Amino acid sequence: MKKKFDKKKFIAEVKDNVKTLYRKNLDEATQEQIFQAVSYAAKDTIIDNWLETQEQYEKQNPKIVYYMSMEFLMGRALGNNLINLCEYDEVKEALEEIGLDLNVIEDQEPDAALGNGGLGRLAACFLDSLATLGYDSYGCGIRYRYGMFKQKIENGYQIEVPDNWLKNGNPFELRRPEYAKEVKFGGHVHVEYDPKTKENKFIQRDYQSVRAVPYDIPIIGYGNGIVNTLRVWDAEAVSDFQLDSFNKGDYMKAVEEQNLARNIVEVLYPADEHYAGKELRLKQQYFFVSASVQAAIAKFKSRGGDIRKFYEKATFQLNDTHPTVAVAELMRILIDEEGLGWDEAWEVTTKTCAYTNHTIMAEALEKWPIELFSRLLPRVYQIVEEINRRFVEEIKAKYPGNQEKIRKMAIIYDGQVKMAHLAIAAGYSVNGVAALHTEILKNQELKDFYEMMPEKFNNKTNGITQRRFLLHGNPLLAKWVTEHIGDEWVTDLSKISKLKLFADDKKAQQEFMNIKYQNKVRLAKYIKEHNGIDVDPRSIFDVQVKRLHEYKRQLLNILHVMHLYNTIKDHPEMKFYPRTFIFGAKAAAGYRRAKQTIKLINTVADVINNDASIGGKLKVVFIEDYRVSNAEMIFAAADVSEQISTASKEASGTGNMKFMLNGAPTLGTMDGANVEIVQEVGEENAFIFGLSSDEVINYEKNGGYCPMDYFNNDQDIRRVLMQLINGEYSGNDSEMFRDLYNSLLNTQCSDKADTYFILADFKSYAEAQKKVEEAYRDEARWAKMAMLNVACSGKFTSDRTIQEYVDEIWKLDKVTL
């Protein structure tokens, strides 16, 4: 049970740690060294709770969810761990006593950026909720040496810098070599008849292997003493350079295995929602999946279970198709190592695996060439072939004579292994991540599968953890909320609706707006320090932070900024409420249009920010290296939440929920979870514009969209588009943004131009922006609107999402200590 915080002991431990780690006294240590020392002091408590939790799990033997994900975007650990230990304020005070500032210490920690964006951060929020709700769970992933690259902006362009996040060591992780597993690649399958069992045995020969070594990272439940585990796998060579292996002539094999181990966990693929078919990526997938499946089975057997009932004690949630090879790996182990027959193994597998789909974007769908797949994973491929053969038989039985169905649904077709099809065929659950997204899956993208197996499909609208994104990220608002309605919201966000009572209260409104103002001052200071730009915290902070993607339409945002600038220049007398447009976004290193958009934002910023004639009415800021740690501060300071994806393209979005929780109304399309946000808060407390998903899908199916018409008929649009190629923002270089221009226009009506309907939505976006300004001018109205956003955000906690996964998919047992 929770022990009382002992200030004296904590201070002594910090001092001690500095001494033993660095041979220094406190006053000689750097802030980074103090960060390490404080983290180790916190870890002390964590380890006790970790031991106790795992002991209870052993005793109670609950069902475990293994959340398998290529990405866990954890951000910083120290502050969050202290929050969840309910020791944040105590530690802050203790450190103050010895002249240290916890904020400065927290800033020393590099983000654990083992993910790209929403998908990876969702996994991190889920782990927080699982621990807080008391469910036995493992996050299973890869311990990348280099996480998401650091972004530098040079001359307006994005430069990618390697993220050596482990440089100073990770104080919270624990290496567990005793749980290492061997993972085999390549070679060939040797079939051997076993006269005893009268069955064939399949033996992989001449393979290369690596040793997967787990590192455990503690995941702390809020205030309940529970500590779960994020297990990330490192790769080591199985055989070191040993003299005897030289003698056996295995020298080259040893070298190759060394290289394999070195390469496999080297770096996170930084392309978000884009599949490139790289061999190393498939190696990464199989590597962590095989190790995780082996570990899950070992744990199950150590608790004395009958392997035929594995699914009663374990379930695998596949975070998108990336870990889908788990299906075949589980089959392989059950058949080849545990001696089950095909049907028995299939029953276990199909009751164990469940799949979450995160996107309908075609370029994200994973398909592996047969040649590559079978060469790398020969035995696993055989199993996939057999799964496919049987699945095709099922399709034939259901739709006799219908070749079309086979073409569209087979797992192996056209020389490719289709991972989504494998996940759906073998999963007992297929879920989308917001109501609209799940409907699109059922009625469009996965229609054939839905018709054949409707019972598998369900929705789980995403959520976020209020512990990180309000309690930690926005301490002023968190305190204010607690003063008004108590602190139950921390573990039950539905309670935050009690704030509705204060929405019309003048005093509450003023306090609320004052907190927003202070958060804006904090962000303005960060911007001054990092960008050298002065922004006015009294201006409207209009924010779009997320990965850079054409479908997310940062281009629409910046074109509208150019339009506003034109308007202000043309009508200097016009009433205009000062605005600061804030962007933050990383582009995949090879994504040219995305990188050009970053350059455009930065050049537009340069021109506007340096134009004294507009009297500071407009500012544009591109925040370098947008990541979890600065995101927390950005959400807290936002007035307007830009969620402007082409309707139907954003599966859910989760940034939208973080803004809402921090009191920023949504300016957005009816896409992803925006739809549900509007349902909760009411249309009058959001700014909605643009084509509907049905309209977009209809254009995509039937054609008829003509961006040139908008160019010809709307002079505002024509003007900003011409400014892309007349050198206005490029020092007379008419080619700099030519590709962006071409992406929007085409001389004929062509389905290749403006595929994300930017021109179609431009006008209604500009109108919605006018409404934002109008609303903001009325301070009481705005305060009420912003407060209602906070008050109506209860649905969007990941606690709710996880409880739904537990009740409707995983069926886990709740554990209390």
- Cβ atoms of 33 and 21 closer than 8 Å: yes
What is the x/- site pattern for ligand OX2, positions 121-150, by CB under 6 A? -x----------------------------
The full 3-state SS of 511-524, as one line of letters, equals: HHHHHHHHHHHHHH
79 or 115: CB nearest ligand OX2: 115
- Cα(609)–Cα(596) distance, integer angstroms: 20
The residues with which 367 forms a beta bridge, in sequence order, are 418
**How many residues form the binding site for ligand OX2 (CB under 6 A)?**
18
What is the x/- site pattern for ligand OX2, positions 94-123, by CB under 6 A? -----------------------xxx--x-
CA 139 to chain centre: 14
What is the x/- site pattern for ligand OX2, positions 621-650, by CB under 6 A? -----------------------------x
Options 130-138, 356-364, 507-515, 624-632: segment touching ligand OX2 (CB under 6 A): 356-364
Q: How far is the CB of 42 from ligand OX2 (least distance, A)?
A: 29
* Catalytic residue ranges: 358, 546-547, 552, 654, 658
Q: How far is the CB of 123 from ligand OX2 (least distance, A)?
A: 9
CA 48 to chain centre: 30
557, two tokens: 């945002």
Q: Is the dihedral of CA 440, 441, 443, 446 positive or negative?
A: positive
Does residue 652 interact with ligand OX2 by CB under 6 A?
A: yes
Does residue 651 interact with ligand OX2 by CB under 6 A?
A: yes
350 or 656: CB nearest ligand OX2: 656
Q: How far is the CB of 117 from ligand OX2 (least distance, A)?
A: 6
- Cβ atoms of 763 and 459 closer than 8 Å: no
Q: How far is the CB of 436 from ligand OX2 (least distance, A)?
A: 11
313 or 418: CB nearest ligand OX2: 418
Q: Is the dihedral of CA 464, 465, 471, 475 positive or negative?
A: negative
- Cβ atoms of 302 and 294 closer than 8 Å: no
Torsion angle of C-alpha atoms 30, 35, 36, 40, degrees rounded to 10: 140
Helices (H), 414-474: 419-426, 435-440, 447-452, 466
Does residue 580 interact with ligand OX2 by CB under 6 A?
A: no
Q: How far is the CB of 271 from ligand OX2 (least distance, A)?
A: 10
Torsion angle of C-alpha atoms 765, 766, 772, 774, degrees rounded to 10: -150
383 or 647: CB nearest ligand OX2: 647
Q: Of 293-352, which residues contact ligand OX2 (CB under 6 A)?
A: 320
Does residue 364 interact with ligand OX2 by CB under 6 A?
A: yes
Does residue 11 interact with ligand OX2 by CB under 6 A?
A: no
In the set 433, 605, 636, 736, which binds ligand OX2 (CB under 6 A)?
A: 433
In the set 45, 170, 461, 462, which binds ligand OX2 (CB under 6 A)?
A: 462
652 or 769: CB nearest ligand OX2: 652
- Cα(349)–Cα(807) distance, integer angstroms: 20
In the set 115, 323, 463, 672, which binds ligand OX2 (CB under 6 A)?
A: 672
- Cα(642)–Cα(576) distance, integer angstroms: 19
Residues 6+ apart with CB under 8 A from 507: none
Does residue 359 interact with ligand OX2 by CB under 6 A?
A: yes
Residues 6+ apart with CB under 8 A from 421: 391, 409, 410, 411, 449
388 or 462: CB nearest ligand OX2: 462
652 or 723: CB nearest ligand OX2: 652
In the set 109, 163, 257, 273, which binds ligand OX2 (CB under 6 A)?
A: 273
Does residue 158 interact with ligand OX2 by CB under 6 A?
A: no
DSSP string, 67-100: EE-S-EEEE-SHHHHHHHTT-HHHHHHHHHHTT-
229 or 319: CB nearest ligand OX2: 319
780, two tokens: 């009481």
The site for ligand OX2 (CB under 6 A) is made up of 117-119, 122, 272-273, 320, 358-359, 364, 433, 462, 650-654, 672
